Chain A
Amino acid sequence: MFDVAGIAVEIGQALLSLALAPALVGFIRWLKARMQNRRGAPIWQPYAELRKLFRKDMVVSRQASWVFHLAPFVIFGSTIVVSLLVPVLVTPLPFNAVADLFAVVYLLLLGTAFLALAGLDTGSAFGGMGSSREMTIAAISEPAIALAILSLALAAGSTNLGEIAARTIARPSSALSPGHVMAFVALFIVMLAETGRLPVDNPATHLELTMIHEAMILEYSGPYLALVEWASWLKLFVFAMLAGNLFVPWGLATSLAPAALAVAFATTLVKLVVIAAGVAVLETRVAKLRLFRVPELLAVSFVLGLLAVASSFSLR
């Protein structure tokens, strides 16, 4: 009953996510730079940033309360829990018994809420602005996520992550069904909104009036900033894995055999590169949307989710 090897792989998988998340962001930045005819920082630049931040002193606002000190740990902790649940290499692992997609969404929302509270805590106008906008986007992206989940759940007959992946592995053709593709696009749009990418938020901006994520974390410095940034990179990684391993779970290992794990690692890297390239191309091609145009984008995602549900209904 108590599967030690499974749990070891599970924890190893989460550590792998932690280790790869900065590289994913570094790769997206590098690719963007190349496409914009810049040389760009090396892919491992985010690791150097983390190393630097963890060693630095910290400046904490006079107004900050314990909420400000608690938030980095809640944000980082909840993202780690999510990375334990999401299949990266192997499925199903022991935690899959409780790996539910709605739970994943709400765990990520917990981190978002705490980041927003931390943004408000220092009394800075920027922090408040970022929090307000972040919660706005989080609130209106919820229905889109729910419908994307619903369409996946309908096809698989479950909201359990392992079951969804297992079902698509068992019936590879279903990955190309129209409902599946629409649900993928819906989730991809939500991923851009939730992880603060263009066209919703610009991860490279420090212009006061356009910041969302950057505005909230403005008062964090040193190790806290490292935690918050790492958690946001991990969130992007988790979404990439959800998109990659739920919609196209091919290559995912179903046993703990070393050969299967090696194949899974290789395919996972390929999927990450493809998704990162998609994000990078998109970010060089589109401009940031005005905040009040974002609901339209998310409405598109919602309608795609609805169509995905309808199509999985009509094709049954």
Chain B
Amino acid sequence: MNPTALEPLFWAMCGGFAIAASGALAPAPRVARAVTAIGSVAGAAAGLWLACLVLAGAGTVSIAMPSVLAAAGGLSFHLDRLGAVFLAVIGGVTIPVAIYGFGYTGGYGRRYSMRWMSLQTGAFLLSMSLVVSAANVLTFLLAWELMAVASWLLVITEHDRPDAVRGGLWYLAMTHMGLLALLAAFFLLGGDQAGAWPFDALRDGAARLSPGTRNAIFLLALLGFGSKAGLVPVHVWLPRAHPAAPSHVSALMSAVMVKLGIYGLLRVALDLLGGGPAWWGVLLVAAGAVTALTGVLYALVDDDLKRLLAYSTVENVGLIVLGTGAGFLFLSLAQPTAAALAFAAALLHVVNHAAFKGVLFLGAGAVLHATGERDINRLGGLVKRTPWTAATFLVGALSIAALPPFNGFVSEWLLFQSFLPGVASSRASVAVLLTLGVGALALTGGLAAATFVKAFGISFLAMPRSPEAANAHEAGWAMRAGMVMLALACPALAILTVPVLSAIGGALGGVGGLPASSTTFSLGVILETPHGLARMSPVAIMAVLAAAGTGVWLAMRLVSRGSRRIDDTWGCGRIGQTSRMEYTSTAFAEPLRRIFGELYRPTDDLTVTEQPGSPYHIQAISYRTELHPWFERGIYDPLVRATQAAASRVRALQSGSVNAYLAYIVLVLVVLLGMVIGF
């Protein structure tokens, strides 16, 4: 296809998101909601279609607008295949989320400004799409900052809740720390080149940079993009801001936005710098393993459904970075095929995580909508009152726990397989590092299974633990449609693994020293890793599993003739069952919390009041437990204190007197003029 034929699609995408933003002009909240939903779906559909065409090899889109912001070098867009992978994720998640959002924001109009929200949503979606199609640093950073500000405004939509405002503040601070690091990285990368620093020129220039500069760029980019992606220890904003946002925005942030941090890292470190020394890969593997384990350990013990999901996003970003790190390591060891597999596994997990984290956040939103509760300990029994939400949440939970036959299993399997050539490597250090990486991957997988058995089992099964849960109502049609679409994507992506992987393989081909051939994976139903170490077929597993389950069901219908009686759950002879007898979320996680107690260092308070006269009869027991990530205190408390101290010093300048302010202005002018004359 002629590349120019793709250009209208690009404009259609931007136009759709602009329509979404134009909900700001709508006369009534209901109209604003509808305009936002329709515009977002249209823009996302155009974006998804465009991404698919680019991935299918229809060419790339290049649009230069030198006249816009000409003084800074002008805007410029170029959507290549790497960007298209992420654009496909943006489009694919936005369509169901926008439909869901139409239903979810139904009650918002009374309390919050729907018009503002339309503007922010449109800007957020547009900026994300532009980040992945930017062709120069100016465009990239503008889109990046617009994305940060729009998403921050969305986080504080419910501005009357203190936790939303506090989470937003953390986000704002961390994202600008990241922006600072990115600015520094790009200044080092751009050096003395003129103009808006097009990526093509930077790529050519990067080869001439000294190793020290390249390392500095890599570390700064890791800090900047890592803070967006949620790498430990710069992940602190994520479990605070993601749960505070309206749930469909949480879904967009967790499923899509954090992945743009991965995109940035790949774009700068792999594409522009073309890989680096082995320690880059080692650092990423270590950071990925620490992030994955920290994320899943805190997800496991969290009782807030949405914060649990946010920590699980941290975990999954860790897995993605783990794969990326293995890729960089293999690249530095001149094993390009193994590197391509590791990068492809990481990118496949990017795509898969978008599907199941999307459905899980939408499900958590539906629970919040139905009960007003996020505390798992106050939920329960929802499977009977909200069957659609429960079924879709279960699909998401099984997928994220890497259980077959869903898509999470496929990418986790591929991550395992991508480590094998490294373990078989002739270098002992690499072999030991990646062996420990496999251990971390497996422990993360096991803990994720425990986490999501808890998240689904305690929230949705058994008896309701609060009146709110007992009176829950099922979500409306729009919310149900959004959840069902994303839930269906989980098995669909497992079935379509091979085409998706070949698209990803094509996107990686030729990027930063990876082999140019796009046929790294043998096509067909069976997934075979390029080094021939392993074969697996998600389709066959799904088919045989379904056949076996159905076969057993039919056989049992034939064999058993017994009747079925409904009765109470056995309670040791006690009559009457209440929800107080059930296991809670805290209790479920308690064994693992104790096993990993050294890492959690919780504060437990147990007070036992004995009956006067007899120590064997207890009058009352009170137990309170608190779990605050201790390492955050170590790193961030001093920073926060120092910032506050600096701010109170600066406050002395702000006397409130206009005369003083005028004096400052004159003073600054004199200094500036002096500098100009001096030079």
Chain B residues with Cβ below 8 Å from A59 are 564-567
Chain A residues with Cβ below 8 Å from B540 are 95, 98
Bound Cα distance A74, B547 (Å) = 11
Chain B residues with Cβ below 8 Å from A55 are 560-562
Min Cβ gap A231→B in Å is 9
Contact between chains at A81 and B548 (CB < 8 Å): yes
Q: Counting CB contacts under 8 A, is A97 at the interface?
A: yes
Contact of A120 among B401, B447, B457, B526 (CB under 8 A): B457
Contact between chains at B588 and A132 (CB < 8 Å): yes
Min Cβ gap A167→B in Å is 12
Q: Counting CB contacts under 8 A, is B595 at the interface?
A: yes
Chain A residues with Cβ below 8 Å from B458 are 120
Among all A-B residue pairs, the 3 with the closest Cβ atoms: A128-B583, A142-B446, A146-B442
A-B contact pairs, 26 of them (CB 8 A): A57-B564, A60-B566, A61-B569, A63-B569, A65-B384, A74-B549, A81-B541, A95-B540, A97-B526, A102-B416, A103-B541, A106-B409, A109-B446, A109-B449, A131-B588, A132-B591, A140-B595, A146-B416, A146-B442, A150-B438, A153-B533, A154-B420, A154-B424, A160-B534, A219-B569, A222-B560
Min Cβ gap A252→B in Å is 20
Bound Cα distance A309, B442 (Å) = 15
Interface residue stretch chosen among B25-33, B252-260, B275-283, B551-559: B551-559
Q: Counting CB contacts under 8 A, is B462 at the interface?
A: yes
Q: Counting CB contacts under 8 A, is B577 at the interface?
A: yes
Closest to B415 in A: A102
Q: Find residues 64-78 in chain A having any chain B CB closer than 8 Å to their own CB.
A: 65-67, 73-74, 76-78
Chain A residues with Cβ below 8 Å from B446 are 109, 138-143
Q: Counting CB contacts under 8 A, is B128 at the interface?
A: no
Interface residue stretch chosen among B161-169, B328-336, B427-435: B427-435
Q: Which one of A98, A125, A150, A158 has the highest number of Cβ atoms from chain B below 10 Å of its Cβ?
A: A98
Mask of A298-316 contacts with B, CB within 8 angstroms, 1/0: 0000100010011001000
Bound Cα distance A208, B581 (Å) = 14
Q: Find residues 27-61 in chain A having any chain B CB closer than 8 Å to their own CB.
A: 54-61
Mask of B527-538 contacts with A, CB within 8 angstroms, 1/0: 000001111110
Q: Find residues 270-300 in chain A having any chain B CB closer than 8 Å to their own CB.
A: 291-292, 295
Contact between chains at B445 and A292 (CB < 8 Å): no
Bound Cα distance A227, B559 (Å) = 12
Contact between chains at A292 and B442 (CB < 8 Å): no
Bound Cα distance A145, B441 (Å) = 12
Contact between chains at B556 and A120 (CB < 8 Å): no
Bound Cα distance A40, B274 (Å) = 69
Q: Counting CB contacts under 8 A, is A202 at the interface?
A: no
Chain A residues with Cβ below 8 Å from B535 are 97-98, 100, 160
Q: Find residues 114-169 in chain A having any chain B CB closer than 8 Å to their own CB.
A: 116-117, 120-129, 131-133, 135-136, 138-143, 145-147, 150, 153-154, 157-160
Bound Cα distance A183, B556 (Å) = 39
Chain A: interface residue total (CB-CB under 8 A): 80
Bound Cα distance A95, B537 (Å) = 10
Mask of B430-473 contacts with A, CB within 8 angstroms, 1/0: 01100100111111011101100110111001110000000000
Contact between chains at B560 and A154 (CB < 8 Å): no
Contact between chains at A128 and B404 (CB < 8 Å): no
Q: Which one of B458, B533, B572, B589 has the highest number of Cβ atoms from chain A below 10 Å of its Cβ?
A: B533
Contact between chains at B461 and A132 (CB < 8 Å): no
Q: Counting CB contacts under 8 A, is A113 at the interface?
A: yes
Min Cβ gap A249→B in Å is 19
Q: Counting CB contacts under 8 A, is A260 at the interface?
A: no
Chain B contact-residue range equals 35 or more
Bound Cα distance A208, B573 (Å) = 14
Closest to B447 in A: A139
Contact between chains at A62 and B566 (CB < 8 Å): yes
Contact between chains at B571 and A113 (CB < 8 Å): no
Contact between chains at B570 and A103 (CB < 8 Å): no
Closest to A306 in B: B435
Q: Counting CB contacts under 8 A, is B64 at the interface?
A: no
Min Cβ gap A4→B in Å is 17
Contact between chains at A106 and B463 (CB < 8 Å): no
Q: Counting CB contacts under 8 A, is B417 at the interface?
A: yes
Q: Counting CB contacts under 8 A, is B204 at the interface?
A: no
Closest to B542 in A: A81
Chain A residues with Cβ below 8 Å from B588 are 128, 131-132, 135
Closest to B534 in A: A159
Bound Cα distance A73, B416 (Å) = 28
Min Cβ gap A185→B in Å is 17
Min Cβ gap A15→B in Å is 12
The verdict on A219 contacting B449 (CB below 8 Å), with A157-B424, A292-B591 known, is: no
Q: Find residues 339-382 in chain B having any chain A CB closer than 8 Å to their own CB.
A: 380-381
Contact of A73 among B537, B549, B595 (CB under 8 A): B549
Bound Cα distance A112, B398 (Å) = 12
Min Cβ gap B157→A in Å is 34
Q: Which one of B442, B456, B536, B582 has the highest number of Cβ atoms from chain A below 10 Å of its Cβ?
A: B442
Contact of B402 among A106, A140, A157, A208 (CB under 8 A): A106
Q: Counting CB contacts under 8 A, is B568 at the interface?
A: yes
Q: Counting CB contacts under 8 A, is A223 at the interface?
A: yes
Mask of A73-113 contacts with B, CB within 8 angstroms, 1/0: 11011101100100000000001011010110011011011
Closest to A117 in B: B457
Chain B residues with Cβ below 8 Å from A147 are 435, 438-439, 442
Q: Counting CB contacts under 8 A, is B423 at the interface?
A: yes
Bound Cα distance A268, B162 (Å) = 66
Contact between chains at B595 and A295 (CB < 8 Å): yes
Contact between chains at B404 and A142 (CB < 8 Å): no
The verdict on A65 contacting B461 (CB below 8 Å), with A81-B541, A123-B582 known, is: yes
Contact between chains at A77 and B409 (CB < 8 Å): no
17 additional contacts (CB under 8 A) given A110-B398, A143-B440, A150-B438: A81-B544, A84-B544, A98-B535, A98-B541, A112-B449, A113-B403, A113-B453, A116-B457, A117-B461, A120-B453, A120-B462, A128-B587, A131-B583, A136-B591, A142-B445, A143-B443, A159-B416
Contact of A146 among B380, B439, B450, B463 (CB under 8 A): B439
Contact between chains at A113 and B401 (CB < 8 Å): yes
Min Cβ gap B231→A in Å is 22
Q: Counting CB contacts under 8 A, is A218 at the interface?
A: yes
Q: Find residues 51-89 in chain B having any chain A CB closer than 8 Å to their own CB.
A: none
Q: Counting CB contacts under 8 A, is B590 at the interface?
A: yes
Min Cβ gap B575→A in Å is 13
Contact of A80 among B413, B454, B548 (CB under 8 A): B548
Bound Cα distance A123, B380 (Å) = 9
Contact between chains at B404 and A103 (CB < 8 Å): yes
Bound Cα distance A138, B546 (Å) = 24
Q: Counting CB contacts under 8 A, is B660 at the interface?
A: no
Bound Cα distance A10, B566 (Å) = 40
Chain B residues with Cβ below 8 Å from A60 are 564-567
Min Cβ gap B303→A in Å is 14
Bound Cα distance A273, B458 (Å) = 41
Contact between chains at B383 and A131 (CB < 8 Å): no
Bound Cα distance A146, B437 (Å) = 11
Q: Counting CB contacts under 8 A, is B609 at the interface?
A: no
Contact of A131 among B423, B453, B532 (CB under 8 A): B453
Contact between chains at A139 and B450 (CB < 8 Å): yes
Min Cβ gap B515→A in Å is 21
Contact between chains at A124 and B570 (CB < 8 Å): yes
Min Cβ gap B180→A in Å is 38
Bound Cα distance A218, B570 (Å) = 8
The verdict on A223 contacting B570 (CB below 8 Å), with A109-B403, A139-B449 known, is: no
Chain A residues with Cβ below 8 Å from B562 are 55-58, 222-223
